[in-house]
C-alpha cells in the first residue's frame, strides 16, 4: 500500500507542474530569406495605399524601412527604394497638378471668372495627368513587388543608384571590397 501512495504522490506532483512552453526563437533572431522577400515585396506594394490615403504607402514604406533596417540589408534597401520613389512621385504630382491649379484659380479670380474659360479645361487635363502619373507609379511599384516576391532583383531607375551612393555604398548581398 505504501507503494501506491508514493505512485499517487508522483502523479499528483506531475499534474501540478506547469506545462512546458513552446520554444520560440529569440525576438532578435535574423529574418529568414522568405520573410525578407515578403517584407521587401510589401514595401513595394505599399504604393497601393496611396490610392486610398494619398500618402499611406509612403508612410508604410518608411515604417518598414525603420523597423527592418538593422535586421536585413535587403529589406532596408527595397523599403528605402520604395519610400524615395513614392516621395518623388508625390512631389511630381503635386508640382504638376498644383502648378496648374493655383495659377488657374488666380487667373479666374483676377479676371472675374473669364479666365476660367481657359483655366478649368487645363486644370482637368493636369488632374488627369496627375492621376496617370499615380497609376503609372503604382504599376511600376507592383511590378517591383512581383519581381522581388519571385526572388528576382529589382531596382528603380535612378532611385536605386542614388540610394547606393548615399546610403549603402554597395548592393544588397555584395560584400565590400
* pLDDT, average across residues 158-166: 88
pLDDT confidence band for 141 (50 / 70 / 90): very high
Nearest to 162 by CA among 83, 95, 94: 83
Q: Which three cell numbers stand for residue 36?
A: 525578407
Give residue limits of the domains in the chain.
36-163
pLDDT confidence band for 17 (50 / 70 / 90): low
The pLDDT tens digits for 45-88 are 999 999 899 889 999 999 999 999 999 999 999 999 999 999 99
- pTM value surpassing 0.85: no
- pLDDT at res. 168: 55
Nearest to 119 by CA among 103, 131, 132, 130: 103
pLDDT confidence band for 175 (50 / 70 / 90): very low
Nearest to 159 by CA among 89, 90, 81: 81
Amino acid at each position: 500500500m505504501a507503494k501506491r501512495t508514493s505512485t499517487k504522490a508522483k502523479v499528483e506532483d506531475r499534474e501540478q507542474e506547469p506545462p512546458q512552453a513552446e520554444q520560440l526563437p529569440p525576438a532578435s533572431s535574423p529574418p529568414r530569406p522568405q520573410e525578407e522577400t515578403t517584407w521587401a515585396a510589401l514595401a513595394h506594394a505599399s504604393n497601393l495605399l496611396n490610392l486610398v490615403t494619398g500618402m499611406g504607402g509612403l508612410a508604410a514604406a518608411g515604417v518598414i524601412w525603420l523597423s527592418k533596417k538593422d535586421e536585413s540589408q535587403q529589406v532596408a534597401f527595397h523599403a528605402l527604394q520604395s519610400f524615395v520613389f513614392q516621395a518623388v512621385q508625390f512631389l511630381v504630382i503635386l508640382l504638376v497638378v498644383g502648378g496648374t491649379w493655383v495659377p488657374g484659380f488666380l487667373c479666374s479670380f483676377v479676371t472675374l471668372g473669364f479666365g476660367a474659360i481657359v483655366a478649368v479645361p487645363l486644370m482637368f487635363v493636369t488632374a488627369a495627368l496627375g492621376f496617370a502619373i499615380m497609376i503609372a507609379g503604382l504599376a511600376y511599384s507592383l511590378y517591383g513587388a512581383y519581381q522581388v516576391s519571385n526572388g528576382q532583383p529589382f531596382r528603380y531607375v535612378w532611385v536605386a543608384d542614388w540610394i547606393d551612393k548615399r546610403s549603402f555604398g554597395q548592393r544588397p548581398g555584395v560584400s565590400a571590397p
